[in-house]
Chain A
Amino acid sequence: MNDLFLLGALDTVRKIQAKNISAVEFVASCLDQIGKTEPKIHAWVHLDRKYALAQAAKIDKKIATGQKIGMLAGVPVGVKDIFNTADFPTEMGSPIWKKFTPGNDARVVSYLRWEDAIIPGKTVTAEFAVHTPGPTHNPHRHGYMTGTSSSGSAAAVASFMVPLALGTQTAGSTIRPASYCGVYGMKPSFGMVPRTGMLKTTDSLDTVGFFSRSIDDLRLLLDVLRVKGRNFPYIHRAVDRQQPVRKNKRKWKVGVVTSSLWVWDKAEVYAQDSLRLFASTLSKQNGIEIQEVKLPAEFNRAHQIHSVIYDKTLSYYFKDEFKKKTLISPVMYEIVERGQRITLDEYKKALDEQNFLSRSFARLMDAYDILLTLSTGGEALKGLQSVDRPDSCLIWTLCGAPIVNLPMFIGPNRLPFGAQLVGRRYGDYGVLSFASFLVTNGISPRTADYFLKT
């Protein structure tokens, strides 16, 4: 079977468990696909084929000897190059940290290994997971951007190199590349996934994100990576103890966010039309109650608040790199310089405003199960270094909300872009259930497979 690489994570694990395929066969197939596509896409910054196959062989040996295998047995997972890994360098997209080996695994990487996932290497990140993109091309069109900063991870999943990949999001770094690459992407609620061993950029915003080609695979990854148990009292109360979200007894209450966001005005007309059309389709569905949402006025300041917090923390955490002006990008230099001018009082005020916004968002979400809006203002732009459209995800990141990108729209250049589903904080499984509801009932016009196999 030469097309094993087309399988998703869940299907792969089932087939490996049932001994229909071996982990080595699957990993070899993915590596072949990487061999074919990587020269054009440049999704990986480190890759070790022999090591990946050796890890797979260990899984096969476990199965052969009747040992219990993990939830991700034999599934290769791309890891964004800002997570510590014991067996690969962690360079964070910067020449300053070339060949830097932290000597340990980030918590999420440990969790992946505990569940028998294969780590074949590290994926390309924007410099320090900020703005300056790496060399990755959009898998759907060479020479087009993938969206930063988790570009390598999104591209690797979109081009069938791996079924799953890890990213991060501080503004829109997971949802944006997922949208441009036509894959499912998820930014869980702030605090749901441990960040230990991950590059720090902004304490109150940094969140681990995932990429996959199906909703079920996103759920699988969330199950594996999220924190659980009594040691995490908030999550334990809000997630562990909650029963399955719904049993179709009540209609999904969906709020469509359009006019009230200033980023909406910056979106392409074709993108606005696509979302309106989709909202209109949704309104005709049984089981969905749809309403246009006007965000409270304080949300208009979201970008300014984000900018103060982001710039200030970057200027603090990257002060040493700032001194090496020739080794950091002009964009990074400018951000750090800007952050240094922000006073501590301004920073604290912005954090207070972030809290206020989160509370305001929580009140708003009393009336809705899901908010629906555009993941990006259109399809990917030409040129890897092109200046992107204003970020339409950071407002939700600021509120700590869970977000899922649904790949569903097509732009004028036949490139994909997505809609984002936003849920209540810690309502991650609810957002996944709604996404699943849309996909399984054929309401979502196209799935990731549509973009990826055509």
Chain B
Amino acid sequence: MTIYSSESIYRQGIGNIIRMMISDFSKSRELVWRLFLRDFTSRHKQSLLGWLWIVLMPLMTMGTFLLLNMSGIIKIGDIDIPYPIFGLMSFSIWNIFSNGLAITTNSVTGAGGLVQKINFSKDSLVFASFGQVVIDFLIRAALTLGILLLYGRVPLTSFFLFPIVLLPLVFLTLGVGMMTSLLQAISKDIVSFVNLGTGFLLLLMPVMYSAEQVGVLGKLNAVNPLYYLVIVPRDIMLYGEVHHLAGFVLSGIFGLIIFIFGWMFFYLSQTKLAERI
């Protein structure tokens, strides 16, 4: 004896699946907000330094780069503005990707009990976790503004375009994060790979330094979408200049495609999550 079960979601067609994803997300907005608040309030519990970590992290990274520069190991290169401003802004943007990826990768497995006990839209966990990255960025951007003023510089109007120019990077991060969060449910090694990869990329790309892009590194960065999605917004915000517009637009489209693909991959696979965790 067999009973008819629900129709497979795979037979709905891509257009309908995307509509369902958006509709489900819209319905779970309240849940995303509640999960975000939960993460926000519990984030620095039992931490001695608490919110100071948001500032300490970029300071330590900048310090490391300055030390390496003074030792002649790496060249920070010619920068038209004081390094604290350049470094803090660059780190803040880079952190959207690196920390965003780490935090979204852990978001589903981190909520194991919830996933096993309650039937809800699991992508809410990914979106809510990304909220912490947004908060970090906003705090660091405000700090950058403060430092700019301390140096007697007036922030450019283009500085405030960040919600638009950083959107492609957010899409790319969420898209990759959706996929890695599922893979993390299969193997706990994924988040280590993510941290290793983003650490490597930070050195590979002129995020914390401004060296000329020549040789193999230059060729690699020329085809690296992340390069355009980090460097171009930084240049717009700090210098009001747009270089590599074509690369930025193409990378933006790539980021959007990865986001849709990643979200769809997550959406279609999420029913299997509870049994994996």
Q: Point out residues on A near B: beta carbons under 8 Å.
A: 84, 92, 96-97, 102, 128, 194-200, 206, 230-231, 233, 317-318, 320-321
Contact = CB atoms under 8 A, between A and B. Distances in A.
B3 A197 contact: yes
Interface string B3-25: 11111000011001001100000
A317 B19 CA distance: 35
Given A196-B4, A200-B2, A318-B1, 9 more contacts: A84-B3, A102-B3, A195-B4, A196-B5, A197-B3, A199-B4, A200-B4, A231-B16, A231-B20
Contacts of B6: 196
A230 B19 contact: yes
A128 B1 contact: yes
Nearest to A321: B1
Given A230-B19, A231-B20, A199 B3 contact: yes
Shortest 4 CB-CB distances between A and B: which pairs?
A195-B4, A200-B2, A317-B2, A198-B4
B1 A231 contact: no
A233 B1 contact: no
Contacts of B12: 231
A233 B3 contact: no
Contacts of A230: 16, 19
Interface residues of B, number: 12
A196 B2 CA distance: 11
Contacts of B3: 84, 102, 197-200
A233 B16 contact: yes
A196 B3 CA distance: 7
Contacts of B4: 195-200, 206
B63 to A, nearest CB: 55
Contacts of A195: 4
A128 B1 CA distance: 9
Given A231-B12, A233-B13, A233-B16, A92 B7 contact: no
A97 B3 CA distance: 13
Interface in B1-52: 1-7, 12-13, 16, 19-20
Contacts of B19: 230
Contacts of A92: 1
B1 A317 contact: yes
A197 B6 CA distance: 8
Nearest to A203: B4
Contacts of A197: 3-4
14 contacts: A84-B3, A92-B1, A128-B1, A194-B7, A196-B4, A196-B5, A196-B7, A198-B4, A206-B4, A230-B19, A231-B16, A231-B20, A233-B13, A318-B1
